[in-house]
Structure formats: structure tokens, C-alpha cells
Amino acid sequence: MINQFKLKDKVVIVVGGANGIGEACANYMASLGSHIIILDKDGAAAKSVSENIPNSLSFELDICDANQIDEVFEKVPSVDVLVNSAGVARRQPALDHNKSDWDLVANVNTTGSFLCAQAAARKMVKAKQPGCITNIASIMGLSGGGIYPNVSYQTSKGAIVNMTRALAVEWAPYDIRVNSVAPTYVRTEFIRPLLDDPYTVRRIEEMTPLGKIAEPGDVAAAVAFLSSSAASMITGHTLPVDGGFLAQ
């Protein structure tokens, strides 16, 4: 039964795999036997991560560029699993939020994730092979709260949650499962300014029943599970990895 949790010889594309949660997913899934392809806007960082993972590839990709997405996915021979991990945030009060920042967050977090999912699914359908897509959502996509104003991020991640449901239903006839994970605050560079403030760290810990900051590996483990045959009857689901944050 343990083999159900492995990903031996699966081709796994990790979008945003050069750092943080994406990098953790790439390394974790490689350890389960996957062939990893890392896509990231920072091509040098993607290559650096790839060089430490046997039999992996990397490509530079700006997911705000639809044509570039098509070009990169055309270079990929096949795909069994897609992990949509690219993301940005602009933490601003709603009354002060400017349109350019709003558009950036929407384009990267929502539109870019959709276009990558679409490109991966097209290859899966053409090859007539089953597949799995896991999106990185957020607890902020399931809650209007938090420790600071973050309306554009919350909106984009809420969209990911329902996009996950919609694609899961539409692509089920092709045997393509679509899920997402909703991490809490994770110890990555993405939230480094928050983690550098002891008061903010204490607030996060107090808001989390398990009383701690999540590690990238905690999220990677959930992504790997959803991508494995052990989760073969799970689709359209968003799995919080939040230490109980949303349970309160």
C-alpha cells in the first residue's frame, strides 16, 4: 500500500519552483521518484534548484505572458502532475490599493495559474492519459481575516478555490483530478518581513491552535499526497494546511 503514496517516474511540473513552497514541492516529489520540471520567472534560481535534483529540467517562465506559457509547455514532452505554486502579494488597505498592484496580483495568482492548468490539461487530454493538478491557494482564500489588510491576495486565492472546483468537475471525464492546498503562514522568503517581527510571529502563533509557523515541507507533503494514487478519489477539494487556523 505504501506504493500508492509514491510518484515513481511521474513527470511533475512545478510552476514557481525556484523557491519557497514550490522548491519544497520539487524536492519532496523528487524524493518520491518523480521527474521534476521547474518553471519560474527567475530562470537562474530555477536552474540552481534543478541542478540539485537528479534528472530534472528547468525553464524560465513569466506566467503573465500567455504566449510564453504555450511555448514552454510545447517544449515539455509530457506531464502527469502540475503544481501551480507561483504567487505574489501586495499588502495594502483596500482604500489605498492601486489598480496596477491589483492587476499584478490577479494576473499572477489567478490568470497565470489558470493558463498553466489549461496548458497542462491540454497535454494530458491529447496524450489520453490521466493527470493531476494541484493549485496553491491560501487560508486567505477561505477567510476575510488575517493580521493585516490583504484584499487583492485574498480575492485571488478565493478565485483559485472556486476555479479548482470548476476545473475538477469539467475535467473529470478526462480523468484529470484538480485540487488545491490552502497553507497558513509558511516560513519562506515570501513572508520574511513578517517573520522578522517578533510581535507578528507571536500573533500568528496565537491565532494558530497548533501554535507554530508552518514549514514548506508541511505543504509539500500535502501536495504530494493529493498528487498520488492514494488520493485517486479526491478532486475539487481544497485542503487547509493551517495548524487549525480556519477551525476557530
The 10s digit of each residue's pLDDT in 74-93 is 999 899 999 999 999 999 99
pLDDT one-digit tens code per residue, 83-138: 999 999 999 999 999 999 999 999 999 999 999 999 999 999 999 999 999 999 99
Q: pLDDT below 50 — which residues of the chain?
A: none
- Grid coordinates belonging to 151: 484584499
The predicted pLDDT at position 4 comes to 85
Task: List strand residue ranges (DSSP E) for the chain, in order.
Answer: 11-15, 35-40, 57-60, 81-84, 131-136, 176-183, 238-241
The active-site residue, picked from 28, 148, 153, 174, is: 153
Q: CA-CA distance, 7 to 214, in Å (whole number)?
A: 24
Q: Which of 35, 70, 23, 59 is nearest to 215 (CA)?
A: 23
Residue 93 is given by DSSP the state: -
- Tell me what the pLDDT averaged over the chain comes to: 96
Q: What is the per-residue pLDDT for 5?
A: 86
**pTM score > 0.85 for this model?**
yes
Query: Cα dist. 202→146, 210, 219, 246 in Å?
Result: 13, 13, 21, 17
**What is the rounded distance in angstroms from the CA atom of residue 158 to the CA atom of residue 143?**
9
The yes-or-no answer on residue 148 being catalytic is no
| pLDDT at res. 147 | 87
* Nearest in space to 73 (alpha carbons), one of 128, 6, 7, 126: 126
The second-level CATH assignment, the architecture, of 2-188+216-242 is: 3-Layer(aba) Sandwich (3.40)
What pLDDT does residue 25 have?
98
CA dihedral 69, 131, 167, 101 (to 10 degrees): -40
Grid cell at residue 188: 519562506
Q: How many residues does the chain have?
A: 248
Contact 233, 177 (CB under 8 A): no
Q: Which long-range contacts (CB under 8 A, 24 or more apart) does 197-202 make?
A: 200/147
Position 81 scores a pLDDT of 98
| The pLDDT value given to residue 3 | 84
